[in-house]
Amino acid sequence: MSQAIQSSSPLTGALRISIHGIVQGVGFRPFVYRLAHQLGLDGSVVNNGEGVAIHVGGPLPLLEQFVQSLREQAPPMARIVSLDARPTDRPPAPGAFRILPSQQGGRPNTQIAPDIAVCDDCLAELFDPGNRRFRYPFINCTNCGPRFSIVERIPYDRPNTSMRVFPLCADCAREYTDPLDRRFHAQPNACPVCGPQLSWHDREGRGLPGDCLALAARALAEGGVVAIKGLGGFHLAVDGCSEEAVALLRTRKNRPAKPLAIMIRDLETAERFAWLSEQDKALLTSPEHPIVLMDRRSGSPLAEGVAPGLGAIGLMLPYTPLHHLLLDQPGIPEALVMTSGNRSDEPICTGNDEALRRLRDLADFFLLHNREIVTRVDDSVARIIDGRSRLLRRARGYSPVPLQLRRPTADILACGGEMKNSFCIVRRNEAYLSQHIGELTGVEQYDFFQESIAHLQAVLEVTPPNVACDLHPDYLSSRYAHGLAMPCREVQHHHAHIGAVLAEQGLDGPVLGIVLDGTGYGGDGTVFGGELFRADRGGFLRLGRLSHLPLPGGDRAALEPWRMALALLYAGSPAPSLDQRQLPASLAPIAVDKQRLLWQMMAKGLNCPRTSSCGRLFDAVAALLGLCLVSQYEGQAAMLLEHHATLATTTTTEPAYAVTIYEEGREQVIDSAPLAGLLLRDLADSVPTAVIARRFHLWLVEALIELMRRVHSQTGLDQVVLAGGCMQNKLLFETLAERLREAAFSVHAGELAPMNDGGLSLGQAYLGGSLCV
């Protein structure tokens, strides 16, 4: 309590309480109402633009108890950021404590809750034949259900959501106005009489009669593709245990190899498909219900085509009542592929007409409903790495929950990068990291990016006076930022990666930041991607890096790892012409003329920018091992290399590859050129692929540890940030983090902000915003 309660009476007093945080749409006002009535206090509670305001009066001991209970007994989905209780000499009017109509205006400072998985109470009612919502696909209460995906503006009241078109029936209205009911002031409240309904359609859009869920289950069991409208967008679903069904979906979606997410009914079923730790189970069943990456269990009935060549699979549990009902249908496949309902490089569909138009060639049938999705929200993806839950894609369940910034940061819009785009809005030292937007490579994705910025600004009632973006001048996000009529701060790509961790972890710096990823605009004519920075909010200095490799063909090298294999061989032996006798058999599928032309390009320095990219080094090794010559999705080569490395035990990896580090100016450089000869030697000796893959991982870790020792002796710094897309490699991250701790370094990395480019905008906002304070 901010101040001691004072009163002209020694026995009674009054308070005005302001509460900020996620306190709208989570049953907070009903909670306050019930608490006040239990204690016999007078007054009122109201939603406003800043959060929740309470005017309360009564005996002093009970007021003390009231404030303490507000802090300690808040609803499960509430999140109190600040509670300010101040005495007032104006007591509330005598009478029963009331909930007042929401107030507009004021200084906007409220937070909107994310979409929340259906709660246990609603599930019990869903499968209770005696309940009036028995098997109703849109059951919800104040503790669960849609939030961010249906809200248009604040305050969070039904007229400001897409539920405004569903007037409450008498029974639902009675619940809504009953302070003792779980649905008291639950804005999405509905039932079969007054709420949204399902419908079943063919690909021509014709409505078909029958039990929608039974028809969907039958179509899936027969190998069909069903488009399902969910919470924040559409899924495309098929039988995850049918190779034929998975292949059909891949053909139609033009997604030949990228891993597909799986939805299974419960934890017991999940354990048939994957190895689950207690942390995995907790994450799967959390209110956020993300997709969780876990090691696949050998011998499981899952189709190999779900994640070809990989050892990890992404599982999620049903998070809406619709999903629960679908997986409860007789004959339903026990594992459903649930992949984003979109075409390649397009945002997920949200509208019924949009889905019928864009997905008609992909799906055989459509399971629709008539509740509008206001904003797209894809599924979140997480993985337990180094004992911590780390988001790889931040979306449903997590956005738009803000991160509290512990250092002064100006209000700012940060526009993120080109791949795995997200944006970030800082309002009063709170960073609202958007839901996953995706690749800004097409008109539809760019429109989604702009629409999402406008929506979040409307929900937050803020228009930041500053903007930040990546240094790369050709990113659409950078062009958008520069097109705004406000000061623009450019933030170097890898500095932003480090900045995201500084923001989330509340670090002052300076720190030593190891950033390993695929690409980043360096500003010195090279492509960054394997860097060691000394960094803080004020700037950065590169102290170390991977040695440069040619990038033959520029950006095309990222799509064709065989090019990087030749680049590594060229770095190891830069002869003027290619000696075919030195090439491993793994490159035989590539035409000799192509290989010779590429070698000549490197020898002459034609269209071969230099790169220190760790991602491209992974590509080179994967291609030399024959794992991936042409990538079918981003990161495929590195993911395959990681999987094979996990198949080898540490004892089989001796002898280790030697590490060479040299100085170039003021930078320490890890020399990757000798790797070429080491890899060729092992290939010639028929060393198993898994052993070579693991030796490479251990070489990289040893090289980074030696680099850190040298830099530590120069700087004395022992706080280390690990960032960049390559750090999603569980084997690499955990091995490196363990070795760093053994060397007395403190290790920090992203958890709520992705380590990949999905977290860039947070770093841009934190670093760019510090310059505007």
- Positions marked active-site: 29, 47
d(CA 533, CA 253): 41
The total of other beta-carbon atoms located within 10 Å of residue 626's CB is 17
- SS3 category, 411: coil
> Pairing mode, if any, of strands 381-385 and 335-340?
unpaired
Whether the bond between 155 and the residue before it is cis, its omega within 30 degrees of 0, is yes
Residue type, 635: G
Which amino acid is it at 607?
N
Q: What tokens were used for 256? A: 């030949």
- Contact, 364 vs 245, CB < 8 A? no
| Coil vs helix vs strand at 515 | strand
Between CA 255 and CA 466 the distance in angstroms is 39
Signed CA dihedral, 731, 736, 741, 742: sign only: positive
Residue 613: is it exposed, middle or buried by C-beta count within 10 angstroms (0-12/13-18/19+)? Answer: buried
How many whole angstroms separate alpha carbon 44 and alpha carbon 22?
19
What is the secondary structure of 368-399 as a DSSP string?
EES---SS--PPPEEEEETTEEEEEE--TTTT
On whether the CB atoms of residues 707 and 532 are closer than 8 A, the answer is yes
Give dist(CA 313, CA 306) in Å, integer. Answer: 8
| DSSP collapsed to 3 states, 300-360 | CCCCHHHCCCCCEEEEECCCCHHHHHHHCCCCCCCEEEEEECCCCCCCCCCCHHHHHHHCC
Helix (H) or strand (E) holding 45: strand 42-48
**Gap between the Cα atoms of 288 and 365, Å rounded:** 28
The tokens of 362 are what? 């992909």
- Dist CA 462 CA 576 (whole Å): 59
- Our separate counts of H helices and E strands in the chain read 21, 30
Q: How many residues does the chain have?
A: 773
Closest-CA residue to 424 (of 486, 484, 473, 496): 496
Q: Which two tokens stand for residue 69?
A: 């209970």
Parallel, antiparallel, or unpaired: how do β-strands 12-22 and 51-59 relate? Answer: antiparallel
- The distance from CA 418 to its chain's CA centroid, rounded to whole angstroms, is 15
Residue 567's closest CA among 604, 516, 620? 620
Residue 473, token pair as written in the block: 């001048």
Give the 3-state secondary structure of residue 425. Answer: strand
| Closest by CA position to 382, among listed 240, 498, 284 | 284
Look-up: residue for tokens 């709170």?
430
CA angle 738–742–748, rounded 5-degree value = 55
Rounded to a whole number of angstroms, the CA Rg of the chain reads 28
Give the CA distances from residue 673 to residues 526, 548, 572, 741, in Å, rounded to whole numbers and listed in that order.
Answer: 17, 9, 5, 28
For residue 612 the two structure tokens come to 């220190």
Q: Quick one: tokens of 28?
A: 């907070």
Cα(500)–Cα(516) distance, integer angstroms:
14
Taking each helix axis as running N to C, give the angle between helix 689-715 and helix 636-646, from 0 to 180 degrees, rounded to the nearest 10. Answer: 100
